[in-house]
Structure 1
Amino acid sequence: MKQASFSVKDLVNAGLFSLLIVIVSFVSGMIGFLPITMPIVPFFGALMSGPLFMLYSTKIRRFGMVLVMGLVSALVFVATGHTILIVLGTVLAALLGEYILKRGDYRSIKHARWAYVAYSLSSCANLLPIYLTRDAYMQKVIDQGYGKEFAEQMFSVLPDWSFFPVLLLGALGAYLGCTIGIKMLKKHFSQSGMA
């Protein structure tokens, strides 16, 4: 019988994997310090954190574990200066990921991979200000000390139409990262009863 509420172990796993995924995302996001690489930041972050999520998926047995992970991650992003949009984007993407995991009864590797692909879409919420408030966001980047040249280069590689291609590229990174994780973690999946 499934436990209705979270155990201490569930919360520890959610917190630990949240922080690991945030750290990997931040480190991966450092490639964005080169403005021309901004369009691939979601791809690279999802690619690098996909194996971690697949390991985390071996610990998930009930609804809410991805949502808790997402909320912890979103709050860390907000605390480090990202907009509140990341919270909304993360909650929506995490709920979609939860639904996908539930469809696989928390035992399907395939569903776990697609759950992370869905969850990875939340990373693009950080990019929304670039598309929704271009002038104000460009000024914010300049005011934060990156300089006008950096801001102009970044915005030149993120034209108005690029949001959905960047979103899809991030989803591809998640899919590939999870695929790498599946190959690396076969033993963990069999031990946890996932197929």
Structure 2
Amino acid sequence: MKEQKLKIKDLVTIGVFAVIYVVIIFALGMIGFLPVLYLVYPALLGIVSGTVIMLFMAKVQKPWAVLILGMLTSVFMMVEGNTYLLIIHSFVVMLIAELIRRVGNYNSFKYNMLSFAIFNTWICGSLMQMLWAREKYIEIAMVMGEDYVNALIKLVTYPNMALVYLGAILGGLIGANIGRILLKKHFIKAGII
């Protein structure tokens, strides 16, 4: 398959999907008001956003699309108060996700599913900031109150984060399969893809 370059139409599509994805992130992020639920947030995000991202991957089957979408999202999250570590974490994750998609020539469900499972771990970087930049993260999170921050400090440990990453990958796999079912049932029949 000859690689196609991204065109203006593709960049607009990436922008639209980035906005939809950010809305999902923030709507679902409300569960983070209870610190313990913050640990299951990446898994839930993968399940809920799987259809949107799989539709995106079906519509934009070109190199760097996933990287751009993911970086737009993480830059927005940084503007909203996260540290630069989220950007670095996201870039590494998106690069891996992009390379997985490339192996499947951008149109293989199997490789797009695996790519999304890895893609979905970018949000774990939000919690990893508690371990990598504790003082800065505590300063940012203090807006939620001291009890909230203390609960997060107890919850966000390396062993717990290993489970959070695993949950994010499993959530991504589940979300991708839900997306495949819905894409076949609704979007393909409707002629959207």
TM-score (norm 1): 0.88
Aligned partner of 1:162 among 150, 156, 160: 160
Unaligned runs of 5+ in 1: none
Deviations 1:166-186 (A, max 9, x none): 111111111111111111111
Q: Report the alpha carbon displacement of residue 26 of structure 1 after superposing the two structures with TM.
A: 1.5
The answer to whether the 8 Å contact 1:29/1:44 transfers is: no
1:46 aligns with 46
Distance in 2 of aligned mates of 1:163 and 1:21: 23
Distance in 2 of aligned mates of 1:136 and 1:6: 37
The 3 A distance-change label for structure 1 pair 79 and 137 is: closer
- Establish whether residue 152 from structure 1 lines up as the match of residue 156 from structure 2: no
Distance in 1 of aligned mates of 2:60 and 2:140: 39
1:82 aligns with 82
The 3 A distance-change label for structure 1 pair 65 and 137 is: closer
Mean alpha-carbon deviation: is it higher for 112-121 or for 180-189?
180-189
Q: Report the alpha carbon displacement of residue 32 of structure 1 after superposing the two structures with TM.
A: 0.3
The 3 A distance-change label for structure 1 pair 160 and 106 is: closer
Deviations 1:56-86 (A, max 9, x none): 1111222111111012111111110111112
State percent identity of aligned pairs: 27
The answer to whether the 8 Å contact 2:81/2:140 transfers is: no
Distance in 1 of aligned mates of 2:182 and 2:176: 10
- Runs ≥4 in structure 1, deviation > 6 angstroms? 190-193
Distance in 1 of aligned mates of 2:90 and 2:34: 25
Alignment length (residue pairs): 191
1:171 aligns with 169
Q: Report the alpha carbon displacement of residue 101 of structure 1 after superposing the two structures with TM.
A: 1.2
- Aligned positions of 1:34-73 closer than 5 A: 34-73=34-73
Distance in 1 of aligned mates of 2:81 and 2:140: 11
The residue matched to 1:180 in structure 2 has which SS? Answer: helix
The 3 A distance-change label for structure 1 pair 105 and 84 is: same
1:33 aligns with 33
The 3 A distance-change label for structure 1 pair 5 and 133 is: closer
Distance in 2 of aligned mates of 1:56 and 1:133: 33
The 3 A distance-change label for structure 1 pair 164 and 66 is: same
RMSD of the TM alignment (CA)?
Answer: 2.2
Could you tell me which amino acid in structure 2 is paired with residue 41 of structure 1? Y
The answer to whether the 8 Å contact 2:24/2:49 transfers is: yes
The answer to whether the 8 Å contact 2:64/2:98 transfers is: yes
Distance in 2 of aligned mates of 1:71 and 1:149: 32
Distance in 2 of aligned mates of 1:4 and 1:39: 38
Q: Report the alpha carbon displacement of residue 126 of structure 1 after superposing the two structures with TM.
A: 1.1
- Establish whether residue 110 from structure 1 lines up as the match of residue 113 from structure 2: no
